[in-house]
């Protein structure tokens, strides 16, 4: 089907509808394998239909995106109708990307350096770069230093309010995240601008030496683009103003190298199975019995060693066992796989022939459970009946932590806001880890409130309800789904009535009282806009509390105070230690000054400006003492004077300090630049102001040579200055 439109890219026809019949999967050898699920895909999207019905030349100028572009144009002080093609393209990028990032953040995808968060971050940065390129500055409300993304997002949210009310309800979170991300990126751009200036200076200087036309290398241009987010257009424009060209060919090579590395990093790694297709055909999906029982009788359907199928295996071998049915939970949804044992018996329940210790269970090749373990005794072969027994104590730990994770998410939404969402989790036998979207660290008060809520729900002894229902029915009931997870038509819903309702395939306690208790161990940031809580529940909670109580008993015994007095006693000790350290530092500085006073007579006079210079080794004086000594000496000697002191305070350290009087600085000799070069001889570096600078190093054996070089260079520098 075709629709006649003037779209510039084709003056006659544009395709707005097509059908794709997906029937086969093409294997690596080129053969075609029929798909289990055959599909029909169509290219007729909402934007294409709107474009036809609204009679506009492209998807961007429909009422789905054009209002965002108009807002951007007004903030850039341009008119879309009068803009050239380049400006229109930039406005289209802004309109398209802004709509995408608002919806993604609304769905819980927070900008970060990993996974889908990185996609959002790159989209946001492209909008910021493009907006600055066309002249957008400030927030559109007379704040020239503000962020402009929130103003654009307001337009997107208003367009979304009638079709997706969740976007409006998360307005505050969306605007806050965009503002933080833009201002953070603008700082990065500022550092990039500084680097660009330095690179242009180097290019101009190098060209002057060899007589060539100055050119910025492709490697440097790519560094600005990839690390600092500098658009190639801005780099080219600024370079052109300075009379410098850019090496586009070199840039393209660097870009292609990155693409290759990215593709290599994203290759899907398959399990090493000899003939995957044959195994899929011969072994059905594993029936999971673990919700109801920790024990089951099953049949060995396959044995793998290093990913390759074998018929039998003997004692001492690491294996992967495939069963027709199992009580073992396979790692998924953040919960680790069960541990336990497989027992192989002789005919008619005779003598035990083999014991396999299972240390992990994974899902592979569709829904086949792979039991990973070691043959501890005897041998096993395909077709044998086995008894599968899950370690009940470890399973109980996983159940307690998984249900606690659901309670934790509800508590977080209650305390810090419903806009926060899960960003990942780990449910282990002895702990839980929960990642969530939030823009700042939680306060001590908030953490205590979250803990209190979870423990209150645990003590309520509420029975959990588990149901399998249609996905849409679960969503209509208000069940929380993990963003990015794939769900089938039928889903398992785990509910703590009145507290939590989530789509979850994991194992859970039957009553919250089984969790026993909940304690947050730590809360920290792991990425931009993503926080992490680690906690313990169940037996792990009891062990944690007992161990901490034991530590407190020892501490009370050492400090000879009651538990309630430990804080005040520790604060007193810390304050006493701080006072003692300050007094010791003050004494060391006074000793250094007294020691330095005896050195003043060693100053030598350098012509033609009659500058007194003093370069000395102060032995083991620490950095603070060295600073005090230098300040005292440069004040004692008449202006103009230059003092350079070094010391080896121990532990393989070197300290250097340079103090120059105003008269020396006026001659063009600066302490900050001078001391850094000297410190390199001692394996270090440093710098500071023109009149005072400090440096350090890790090679005390080189200090005498460094000071000799300092003496020679300061004399040479001052002697060469014209009167």
Give, in degrees to the nearest 5, the angle at Cα 710 between 709 and 712. 65
Specify the pLDDT at position 306.
84
Handedness of CA 414, 416, 419, 423 (dihedral sign): negative
Is 365 in the same domain as 440?
no
* 344 in the same domain as 315: yes
At residue 622, the pLDDT reads 82
Rounded Cα–Cα distance for residues 577 and 574 (Å): 5
What percentage of the chain carries pLDDT values higher than 70?
91
Q: Looking at residue 464, what is its pLDDT?
A: 96
Q: Are residues 63 and 186 in the same domain?
A: yes
- End residue of a domain, out of 205, 232, 261: 205
DSSP state of 640: S
Q: Is position 508 annotated in a ligand binding site? A: yes
Q: Domain boundary residue among 519, 544, 569?
A: 544
Q: Are strands 465-470 and 490-496 parallel, antiparallel or unpaired?
A: antiparallel
Whether 161 is in a domain gets the answer yes
Q: Which residue has the tokens 């996974």?
A: 115
Token reading at 233: 């257009």
| 402 annotated binding-site participant | yes
Per-residue b or e along 42-72, where b marks 16 or more CB atoms closer than 10 Å to that residue's CB: eeeeebbebbbeeebebbbbbebbbebbbbb
Structural domain including 499 reads: 409-422+434-544
**Does residue 484 sit within a domain?**
yes
Residue 614: per-residue pLDDT: 87
Task: Indicate the pLDDT class of residue 642, thresholds 50, 70 and 90.
Answer: confident
162: phi then psi, degrees, rounded to nearest 5:
-85, -20
Peptide bond into 682 cis (omega under 30): no
Give dist(CA 110, CA 119) in Å, integer: 10
Q: Whose CA is closest to 642, among 704, 720, 702, 718?
A: 718
Mean pLDDT over all residues of the chain? 85
- pLDDT at residue 5, as a whole number: 41
Q: State the angle between helix axes of 85-106 and 149-160 in degrees (0 to 180), rounded to the nearest 10.
A: 70
476 pLDDT above the threshold of 60 = yes
DSSP 301-339: EEEEETTEEESEEETT-EEEEEESEESPPPSBTTBPPP-
Nearest to 332 by CA among 471, 267, 396, 425: 425
Which segments within 148-226 are labelled E, that is strand? 215-216
One-character DSSP codes across 646-664: EEEEETTEEEEEEEE-HHH
Collapsing DSSP states into helix, strand and coil, what is residue 249? Answer: helix
Q: What is the pLDDT of residues 308-338, one digit of tens each?
A: 888 888 888 899 999 999 999 999 989 999 9
| Highest mean predicted confidence (pLDDT) among 240-254, 399-413, 551-565, 655-669 | 399-413
Q: Which residue has the higher pLDDT, 9 or 287?
A: 287
Per the domain annotation, does 235 fall within a domain? no
- 384 and 415 assigned to the same domain: no
- Reading the block at residue 434, the tokens are 């929960």
pLDDT at residue number 386? 93
Residue 278 has pLDDT above 70, yes or no: no
What value, to the nearest 5°, has the Cα angle with vertex 601 and ends 600 and 606? Answer: 90
Rounded (5°) CA angle 45-47-51: 120
Question: Does residue 182 form part of some domain?
Answer: yes
d(CA 124, CA 189) in angstroms, rounded, equals 13
Q: Does the pLDDT value for residue 669 go beyond 90?
A: no
DSSP label at 268? P
Of 38-47, 267-276, 619-628, minimum mean pLDDT range: 267-276
Q: Are residues 705 and 601 in the same domain?
A: yes
Residues 127 and 97 in one domain: yes
CA–CA dist 56, 84 (Å, integer): 18
Local confidence band at 266 (pLDDT 50, 70, 90 cut-offs): very low
Cβ pair 171, 164 in contact under 8 A: no
Q: Are residues 370 and 417 in the same domain?
A: no
Q: Is the pLDDT reported for residue 413 higher than 90?
A: yes
d(C-alpha 713, C-alpha 240), whole Å = 39
Band of pLDDT at residue 15, cut at 50, 70 and 90? confident
Number of domains in the chain: 4
Measured CA to CA in angstroms, residue 78 lies from 8, 84, 140, 515 at distances of 22, 10, 14, 61
Q: Does residue 545 carry a pLDDT above 90? A: yes
Confidence of residue 350 (pLDDT cuts 50, 70, 90): low
Residue 237 in domain: no
Give the range among 154-168, 287-301, 325-339, 537-551 with minimum mean pLDDT.
154-168
Q: Tell me: is residue 504 an annotated ligand-binding position.
A: yes
* pTM reported for the whole predicted model: 0.63
Eight-state DSSP code of residue 358: E
Residues 67 and 114 in one domain: yes
Q: Is 215 inside any structural domain?
A: no
What number is the average pLDDT over the span 167-174? 86
Q: Lowest mean pLDDT: which of 175-189, 205-219, 436-450? A: 205-219
In a domain, 355, yes or no: yes
- Phi/psi region, residue 527 (left: phi>0; alpha: psi -120 to 50; beta: rest), is beta
Nearest to 502 by CA among 483, 524, 529, 525: 483
At 281 the pLDDT is: 59
Asked whether residue 228 is assigned to any structural domain, the reply reads no
Residue 262 has pLDDT above 70, yes or no: no
Judged against a pLDDT cut of 80, whether residue 79 lies above it is answered with yes
Determine the pLDDT at residue 345.
Answer: 80
**Quick count: other Cβ atoms within 10 Å of Cβ 569?**
15
* SS3 at position 95: helix
């Amino acid at each position: 089907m075709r629709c006649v439109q003037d779209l510039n890219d084709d003056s006659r026809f544009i395709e707005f509808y097509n059908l794709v019949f997906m029937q086969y999967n093409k294997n690596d050898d080129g053969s075609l394998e029929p798909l289990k699920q055959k599909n029909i895909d169509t290219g007729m999207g909402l934007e294409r239909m709107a474009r036809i019905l609204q009679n506009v030349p492209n998807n961007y100028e429909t009422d789905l995106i054009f209002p965002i572009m108009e807002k951007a144009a007004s903030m850039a002080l341009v008119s879309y109708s009068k803009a050239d093609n380049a400006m229109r393209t930039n406005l289209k990028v802004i309109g398209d990307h802004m709509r995408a990032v608002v919806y993604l953040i609304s769905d819980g995808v927070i900008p970060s350096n990993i996974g889908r968060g990185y996609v959002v971050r790159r989209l946001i940065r492209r909008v910021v770069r493009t907006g600055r390129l066309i002249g957008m500055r400030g927030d559109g409300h007379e704040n020239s230093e503000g962020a402009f993304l929130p103003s654009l997002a307001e337009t997107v949210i208003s367009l979304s309010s009638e079709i997706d009310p969740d976007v409006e309800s998360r307005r505050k979170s969306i605007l806050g995240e965009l503002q933080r991300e833009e201002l953070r990126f603008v700082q990065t751009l500022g550092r990039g601008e500084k680097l660009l200036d330095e690179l242009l200076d180097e290019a101009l200087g190098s060209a002057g030496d060899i007589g060539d036309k100055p050119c910025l290398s492709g490697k440097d241009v790519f560094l600005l683009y990839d690390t600092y987010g500098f658009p190639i257009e801005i780099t080219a424009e600024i370079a052109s103003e300075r009379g410098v060209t850019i090496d586009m060919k070199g840039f393209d090579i660097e870009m292609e190298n990155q693409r290759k590395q990215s593709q290599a990093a994203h290759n899907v790694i398959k399990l090493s199975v000899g003939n995957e297709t044959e195994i899929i055909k011969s072994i059905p999906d594993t029936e999971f019995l673990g919700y109801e029982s920790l024990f089951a009788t099953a049949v060995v359907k396959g044995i793998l060693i290093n990913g390759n199928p074998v018929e039998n295996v003997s004692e001492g071998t690491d294996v992967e066992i495939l069963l027709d049915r199992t009580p073992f939970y396979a790692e998924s949804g953040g919960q680790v796989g069960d541990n336990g044992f497989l027992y192989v018996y002789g005919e008619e329940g005779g003598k035990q022939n083999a014991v396999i210790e299972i240390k992990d269970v994974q899902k592979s090749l569709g829904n086949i459970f792979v039991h990973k373990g070691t043959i501890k005794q005897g041998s096993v072969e395909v077709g044998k009946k086995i008894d599968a027994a899950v370690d009940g104590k470890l399973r109980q730990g996983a159940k307690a932590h998984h249900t606690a994770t659901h309670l934790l998410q509800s508590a977080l939404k209650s305390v810090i806001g419903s806009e926060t969402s899960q960003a990942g989790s780990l449910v282990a036998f002895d702990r839980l880890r929960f990642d969530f979207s939030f823009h700042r660290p939680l306060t001590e008060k908030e953490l205590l409130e979250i803990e209190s809520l979870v423990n209150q729900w645990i003590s309520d002894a509420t029975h959990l309800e588990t149901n399998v229902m249609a996905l849409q029915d679960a969503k209509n009931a208000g069940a929380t789904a993990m963003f990015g997870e794939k769900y089938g038509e039928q889903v398992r819903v785990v509910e703590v009535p009145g507290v939590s309702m989530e789509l979850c395939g994991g194992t859970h306690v039957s009553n919250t009282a089984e969790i026993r208790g909940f304690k947050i161990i730590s809360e920290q940031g792991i990425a931009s806009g993503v926080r992490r809580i680690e906690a313990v529940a169940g037996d792990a909670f009891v062990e944690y509390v007992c161990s901490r109580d034991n530590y407190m008993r020892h501490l009370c015994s050492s400090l000879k105070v009651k538990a309630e007095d430990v804080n005040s006693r520790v604060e007193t000790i810390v304050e006493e230690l701080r006072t003692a350290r300050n007094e010791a530092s003050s004494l060391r500085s006074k000793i250094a000054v007294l020691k330095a006073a005896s050195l003043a007579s060693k100053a030598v006079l350098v012509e033609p400006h009659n500058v007194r210079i003093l370069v000395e080794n102060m032995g083991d004086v620490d950095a603070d003492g060295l600073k005090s000594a230098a300040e005292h000496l440069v004040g004692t000697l008449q202006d103009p004077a230059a003092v350079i002191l070094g010391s080896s305070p121990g532990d393989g350290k070197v300290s250097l300090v340079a103090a120059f009087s105003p008269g020396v600085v006026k001659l063009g000799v600066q302490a900050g630049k001078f001391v850094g070069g000297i410190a390199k001889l001692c394996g270090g570096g440093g710098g500071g102001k023109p009149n005072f600078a400090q440096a350090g190093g890790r090679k005390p054996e080189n200090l005498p040579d460094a000071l000799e070089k300092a003496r020679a260079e300061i004399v040479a520098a001052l002697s060469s200055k014209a009167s």
